[in-house]
């Protein structure tokens, strides 16, 4: 089986590479990324690599050549920064996905799998769980959510136009691993906020609104779900998340701190001002997404893929906190800032 991974050098890409290297039926792995990693280092060794900007006008033609003869294409490519320039994000996230789909069709790849997100969903409940039939209309104030929702509709059209291609989409919660600490800190906090002190002391309190109820999953567990989709030729959408659900009290417990309830609008205003002043890297759309996305049921993945997470959400959350404090890097991967 020959598998091409678009966006193979980040948090999820490295986890999927580790997973595929364990499979004897995988006879060829091809990685596509904007910048090449250290190809002598694990998990990048043993794969063929191509440096490519998926948002470029020439990308469909170049990608079609790379995809020729592939059994599966997995699309993980995504940009979170520079989020002060949504046109740049659109070019990678939406145009880039359009280009990947065009190349999959041109190369007649029989199976395609896409990394969507819980953020693709429209606002939903926090006290009951939704399945994959919940509307994927996104959160309007979040560029990340809007782009994921737009790509979901593009996948719907692609499935209609190419019914012979098996199309799957995974919708994970927040995806963490310790090695992604430096990457996550740079994308969501920026370089001006020191976080190394977390190695030595716990924060005195954690200021979060009560609406912040989210789901977390370890990168390796998402990679395992991708492999199960590939191996089974499974089509459709799959929610992917670990237990327990993460709320402010759980976050405070993981940080060995205490929860300080704050009003959502107060936190949003603070994030907006500091983001505008470029004091930190997260725009207020992330606050809206965290407060509005629904809690997902993972029953379909468990039933149809025989998938269950090996790492709890609290352990995954603790890993990313340690990784941020330790400035841990995703293997020898180049850090992409947009």
Which domains are delineated in the chain?
2-172+219-240+297-307 (3.40.50.720)
Q: What is the pLDDT, as a whole number, of residue 326?
A: 83
C-beta pairs of 140-143 under 8 Å, 24+ apart in sequence = 141/284, 141/285, 141/288, 142/285, 142/286, 142/288, 142/289, 143/83, 143/86, 143/89, 143/283, 143/285
Could you say which residues of the chain have pLDDT below 50? Answer: 335-338
- C-alpha to C-alpha distance for 72 and 239, rounded to whole angstroms: 20
Q: What is the pLDDT, as a whole number, of residue 182?
A: 80
- C-alpha to C-alpha distance for 17 and 4, rounded to whole angstroms: 10
Q: Tally Cβ neighbours within 10 Å of residue 13.
A: 28
Specify the DSSP element, H or E, that contains 5: strand 2-6
Q: What is the pLDDT, as a whole number, of residue 334?
A: 54
Q: What is the pLDDT, as a whole number, of residue 315?
A: 96
- C-alpha to C-alpha distance for 153 and 132, rounded to whole angstroms: 14
Give the global pTM: 0.94
- ∠ CA 322-323-328, nearest 5°, is 145
Q: What is the pLDDT, as a whole number, of residue 199?
A: 74
């Amino acid at each position: 089986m020959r598998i091409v991974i678009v966006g193979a050098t980040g948090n999820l890409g490295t986890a999927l590479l580790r997973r595929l290297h364990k499979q004897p039926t995988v006879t060829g792995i091809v990685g596509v990324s904007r910048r090449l990693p250290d190809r002598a280092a694990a998990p990048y060794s043993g794969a063929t690599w191509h440096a490519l900007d998926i948002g470029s006008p020439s990308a469909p033609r170049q990608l079609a050549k790379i995809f020729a003869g592939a059994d599966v294409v997995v699309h993980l490519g995504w940009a979170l920064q520079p989020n002060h320039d949504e046109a740049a994000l659109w070019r990678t996230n939406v145009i880039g996905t359009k280009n990947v789909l065009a190349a999959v069709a041109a190369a007649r790849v029989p199976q395609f799998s896409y990394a969507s997100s819980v953020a693709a969903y429209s606002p939903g409940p926090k006290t009951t769980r939704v399945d994959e039939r919940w509307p994927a209309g996104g959160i309007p104030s979040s560029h990340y959510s809007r782009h994921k929702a737009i790509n979901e509709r593009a996948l719907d059209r692609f499935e209609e136009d190419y019914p012979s291609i098996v199309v799957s989409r995974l919708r994970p919660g927040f995806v963490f691993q310790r090695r992604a600490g430096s990457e996550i800190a740079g994308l969501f906090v920026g370089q001006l906020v020191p976080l190394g002190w977390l190695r030595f002391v716990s924060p005195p309190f954690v200021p979060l609104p009560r609406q912040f109820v989210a789901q977390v999953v370890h990168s390796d567990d998402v990679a395992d779900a991708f492999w199960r989709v590939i191996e089974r030729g499974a089509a459709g959408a799959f929610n992917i998340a670990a237990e327990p659900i993460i709320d402010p009290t759980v976050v405070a417990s993981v940080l060995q701190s205490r929860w300080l309830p704050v009003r959502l609008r107060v936190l949003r205003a603070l994030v907006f001002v500091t983001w505008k002043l470029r004091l930190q890297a997260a725009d207020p759309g992330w606050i809206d997404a965290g407060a509005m996305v629904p809690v997902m049921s993972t029953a379909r993945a468990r039933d149809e893929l025989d998938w269950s997470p090996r790492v709890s959400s609290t352990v995954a959350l603790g890993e990313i906190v340690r990784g941020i404090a330790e400035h841990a890097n995703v293997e020898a991967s180049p850090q992409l800032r947009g």
